[in-house]
Every structure is written in C-alpha cells, then in structure tokens.
C-alpha cells in the first residue's frame, strides 16, 4: 500500500547495522531518551536531540504504534552542586529553575514527552537496584561507603560502543584508588562535606550518574523495552554502563532492543557544549527566530548526521516554514470559501496520483531509518505541486487531498499545528456529497479503480458508501 519499502528499518548502534523494527509488544513502542542535567539553560545542542526523538516518536505514531516516551531529568549531579555553591543558592533551587527553562523550551518546540521522571524522586528505587547488583555479585561496597559496579562481572562490556579492549575503557574513566579496576564506575557516591546526601545501607551518599537511567526506565517501561536514545556523546561511557548494570541486574538480553543515537550539533566543527563555552541558549535563539523555524531546521536533518549551527540554515528554514504556512492557509481558504470547481478533470486525477506518489516516497524515506531530510524534500515537492497545479484551477477533491496530505505530513513535522488545530468548520455533508458525485462520474467513465479507491479511503475515515445501480447512499460508521 505504501510502496515497496513498507517495513521500517532502523540503525542500531548495538551491532552498527540496519534492522527491521519490531517492537517487543506488538503495536506498543516503549522509548527512553536521556534528558538534561539541569544546571544551565537548555541550548541548541539539546534541542537537536530532543527534536530528533520527537520526530521519531511522531512517525511511529503515524504508523499506528502507541508510543510511551520517557525522558529523565537529572536534578542531582556534581555540576548542579557546583553551580549552587558558586551562586550561594540551594541546589534544589538551581535544579528547579533550569527544569522550568527546559520544560518551556520543549513546549515552544512543540515536543510532548509522556513522562519526565526526576532522579531525586527515585532514590529508594535506586538503592534497591544497587542492592540487587551487590547481591548478585556485580557490585561492591568500597571503604569510603561508595558502591562500584565491577565491570569484570559483565561479559558484554564494550559491545555497544565498540570499545572491545580494556585499554579503551580505562582511559576514559577517572581513576579512584579504592576501585578494583580503573574502569569500574560509581553506582553510589559516599557523601562529601557540604554536599546533599540521602541515607542508604552503605551510609549517607547520593547516586552516581548512570544508575538513574537503568532504574527509571525499568520503573516506567519494564525490564525490557524497545528504544533507548540520546546523543552520540552518551554512547560511552553512559550507555555502555547503563547496559552493563541493567543486563547484569535484570538478567535480560537484550535489555534494550534498539539503541538510537543522534549526531552532534556543532559550532565550527566542535560539539556545542557548556564546557567548551560555545552554547547558544534556546531562549536567546527564540528572541530572533520563531520556535517553528528552529524546529523545522532541526527536524529536517537526518537524526544521525552531524549538524552545524548556522544562520544560513535557519534562514533557509524560515523560507521553508513560510512556504508551508502559505500553502496550508491558501488551501484552507479555498475550502472554507468553497471557491473551487466541484468537477474532477483528467488533470485533477493526474495531480491526485502525483500526490499519492509523494506520500509513498515520504513513507519510504522515513522507513529508511527515519530519513527526515529526504522525506521532507517530498513535503516541499507538495508545496511546489500546490502552486503549479492544485491552486491554479482549484478542484475540490484535489484541494481537499492536498490539504489532508499536508496535515498528515505535519503530524511528523509539527510546525503547522496552529493551522490544523484551528481546522475550519468544514461543511462535512456537502463535502461527502461532492466526493460521492466525483466518484459517480468516475464510475460512469468506467474508472473503477479510482472509484474503488475513493470508496475504500472513505470507509477508513468512517464513511461507508453503498451503490444501488447508479445511485450511491452513504452512512457514517
Ligand atoms: P546533557 O544535559 O548534556 O546530559 O544532555 C542532554 C541530552 O542532550 C543528551 O541526550 C545529550 O546527548 C544531548 N546533547 C547535549 N549536547 C548535544 C549536542 N551538542 N548535540 C546533540 N545532542 C546533544
Ligand atoms: Zn541516561
């Protein structure tokens, strides 16, 4: 029905290959994305990853999956504590302020995450999980009261990142004398003076970074789920460590079926990050560019490609956005005012066919590892088609199809919601009559193929047609 590539294939970082996407439970997709450490303003680099996963989620929904998307908020961490000290504020205040900034950024980018668990609300779960790892012999308590994961007890370590030799792990990990191996990582950090702490069986302390994601994903998505995402900067050590501790504790392989990672957003070739001092905060960017333009720019890139921040790219996105908006408005105006012919010409039929071709191509591109950059080119082709054919001598059936197709594409793109949310009060019955009349004429000219297609499409929308000789009756349901 949707061209030759009806199967969605995704690039799994684990194994580095394209795989057919089959969720663990049919029709239900469970997705966990690593969210922010809230110690500073949300920047464009973060947005690159959040928009990419939102596009992925929206596309999965368009395919008919029921998606549950969890994205954590790290609200306790060295960086938050440091900032609070520097500014002589309570660390909770720092975390809350930047959580607010993050949630506002998501809302302006039209991203809806289903669940936003915060680490400090899961300390009890974290302690239980760590205890499980100790009981199973995968973790040990050091003299300071810190607890470490013993990497030598998990045989798959390094597979996700492709760092298969010990030398490659050791270089990246801070070396603390009390660790058994330099690459063991902290699950629980014993409290240091002046730092926030929670009681635990091993003394006062706070969670290490990696453990939170294993715990919160298990809490909300269960012991095995479909997609684990984040930026490619997290593959090692964060995701490698998450995988090791989860598979060790839960005894599930694979714990995560598909690991998806976004390419970095760069400035002059370098990753945009606070530590490099090259960040552009979203709230600053929104003062100059509409959130829809920023979203369109980010959404139009392939999620795995490295994306360079540039004014030109935003200007191009601005032009694309204006074009999409103009076409959506023009189509809607025609429908609202009924300023179109209710006949379907041969040229109109041709345009309908061309639009179905664009739809097939859009799905094919998205099925090819969510290739939004290619898929969006077909959306722009639709806008060209609108100007060159649909809006020239508007015919009701063609205008309506162009409008509904743009609405369908927008379910992934997500920048025209305001146009479609204020969908015009269409004269529903008259429109069905028009379509039925067009179909009657098609049948008279023996174009049964298209007539049947219209009947099937309407049936999917809940409008059933019954032919009695040349007459057609329709009912809803
Ligand atoms: P952080 O707060 O740095 O832990 O980042 C939160 C999320 O944004 C993670 O999924 C990161 O991988 C992602 N991220 C951070 N910086 C960038 C960047 N420059 N480009 C793309 N993604 C990023
Ligand atoms: Zn994580």
355 torsion bin: left (phi>0), alpha (psi -120 to 50), beta (else):
alpha
Pocket of ligand 1 (CB under 6 A): 34-37, 45-46, 48-49, 230-231, 233-234, 262, 264-265, 271-273
- Distance between the two ends of the chain, CA-based, in angstroms? 23
Q: What is the pLDDT of residue 174?
A: 59
Residue 368 has φ and ψ, to the nearest 5°, of -90, 75
In sequence order, which residues have a C-beta less than 8 Å from that of residue 433 and are 6 or more positions away? Answer: none
On whether the CB atoms of residues 311 and 383 are closer than 8 A, the answer is no
**pTM tops 0.85:** yes
Q: How far is the CA of 232 from the centre of ligand 1 (A)?
A: 8
Which atom of ligand 1 lies nearest, measured to the CA of 234?
12
Q: Kindly report the backbone phi and psi dihedral angles of residue 90, in degrees, each rounded to the nearest multiple of 5, phi listed first.
A: -70, 140
Mutate which of 233, 302, 308 for ligand 1? The one with the most ligand atoms within 8 Å of its CB, which is 233
Ligand with the closest atom to the CA of 309:
1
The residue whose CB lies within 8 Å of the most ligand 1 atoms, and thus the one to mutate among 13, 49, 52, is 49
Please give the distance, rounded to the nearest whole angstrom, from the Cα atom of residue 46 to the centre of ligand 1.
5
Closest residue by CA, ligand 1 atom 2: 36
148, 218, 10, 7 alpha-carbon torsion, rounded to 10°: 160
Tell me the fold of 312-476: Isoleucyl-tRNA Synthetase; Domain 1 (1.10.730)
Q: Distance from the CA of 317 to the center of ligand 2, in angstroms?
A: 31
Domain boundaries, the chain: 9-309, 312-476
C-alpha to C-alpha distance for 1 and 240, rounded to whole angstroms:
39
Q: What is the pLDDT of residue 422?
A: 62
pLDDT at 424 (0 to 100) = 56
Cα-based torsion angle of the residue sequence 270, 272, 274, 276 in order, rounded to the nearest 10 degrees: 10
Output the pLDDT for position 104: 98
Q: How far apart are CA 273 and CA 284, in angstroms?
A: 16
Q: What tens digit of pLDDT does each residue of 409-464 get? A: 999 999 999 899 865 566 788 889 999 999 999 999 999 999 999 999 998 888 99
* Residues of the chain where predicted confidence (pLDDT) is lower than 70: 1-5, 169-175, 422-426, 477
pLDDT at 228: 98
Looking at domain 9-309, its CATH superfamily turns out to be: HUPs (3.40.50.620)
């Amino acid at each position: 029905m949707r061209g030759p590539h009806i199967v969605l294939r995704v690039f799994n970082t684990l194994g580095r290959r394209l795989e057919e996407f089959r969720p663990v439970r049919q029709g239900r997709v469970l997705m966990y994305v690593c969210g922010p450490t809230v110690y500073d303003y949300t920047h464009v680099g973060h947005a690159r990853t959040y928009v990419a996963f939102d596009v992925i989620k929206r596309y999965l929904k368009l395919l008919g999956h029921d998606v549950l998307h969890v994205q954590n908020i790290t609200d306790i961490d060295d960086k938050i504590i440091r900032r609070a000290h520097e500014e002589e504020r309570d660390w909770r205040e720092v975390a809350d302020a930047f959580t607010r900034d993050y949630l506002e950024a998501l809302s302006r980018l039209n991203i809806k995450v289903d669940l936003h668990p915060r680490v400090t609300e899961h300390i009890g779960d974290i302690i239980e999980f760590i205890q499980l790892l100790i009981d199973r012999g995968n973790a040990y308590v050091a003299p300071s009261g810190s607890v470490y994961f013993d990497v030598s007890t998990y045989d798959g370590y390094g597979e996700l990142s492709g760092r298969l030799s010990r030398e490659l792990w050791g270089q990246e990990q801070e070396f603390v004398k009390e660790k058994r191996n330099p690459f063991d990582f902290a699950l629980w950090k014993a409290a240091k003076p002046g730092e926030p702490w929670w009681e635990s069986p091993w003394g006062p302390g706070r969670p290490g970074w990696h453990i939170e994601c294993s715990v919160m994903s298990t809490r909300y998505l269960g012991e095995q789920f479909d997609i684990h995402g984040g930026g490619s900067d997290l593959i090692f050590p964060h995701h490698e460590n998450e995988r090791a501790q989860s598979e060790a504790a839960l005894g599930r392989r694979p714990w995560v079926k598909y690991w998806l990672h976004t390419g970095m957003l760069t400035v002059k070739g370098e990753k945009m990050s606070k530590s490099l001092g090259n960040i552009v905060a979203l709230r600053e960017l929104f003062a100059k560019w509409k959130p829809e333009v920023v979203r369109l720019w980010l959404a139009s890139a392939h999620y795995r490609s490295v994306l360079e921040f540039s004014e030109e790219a935003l200007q191009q996105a601005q032009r694309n956005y204006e074009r999409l908006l103009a076409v959506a408005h023009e189509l809607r105006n025609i429908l609202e005012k009924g300023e179109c012919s209710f006949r379907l010409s041969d040229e109109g039929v041709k345009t309908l066919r061309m639009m179905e071709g664009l739809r097939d191509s859009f799905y094919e591109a998205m099925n090819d590892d969510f290739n939004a950059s290619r898929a969006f080119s077909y959306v722009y082709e639709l806008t060209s088609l609108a100007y060159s054919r649909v809006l020239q001598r508007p015919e009701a059936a063609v205008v309506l199809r162009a409008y509904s197709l743009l609405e369908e594409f927008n379910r992934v793109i997500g920048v025209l919601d305001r146009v479609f949310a204020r969908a015009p009060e269409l004269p529903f019955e008259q429109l069905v009559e028009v379509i039925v009349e067009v179909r009657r004429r098609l049948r008279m000219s023996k174009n049964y193929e298209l007539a049947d297609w219209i009947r099937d499409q309407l049936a999917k929308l809940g409008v059933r047609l019954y032919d009695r000789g040349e007459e057609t009756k329709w009912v809803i349901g």
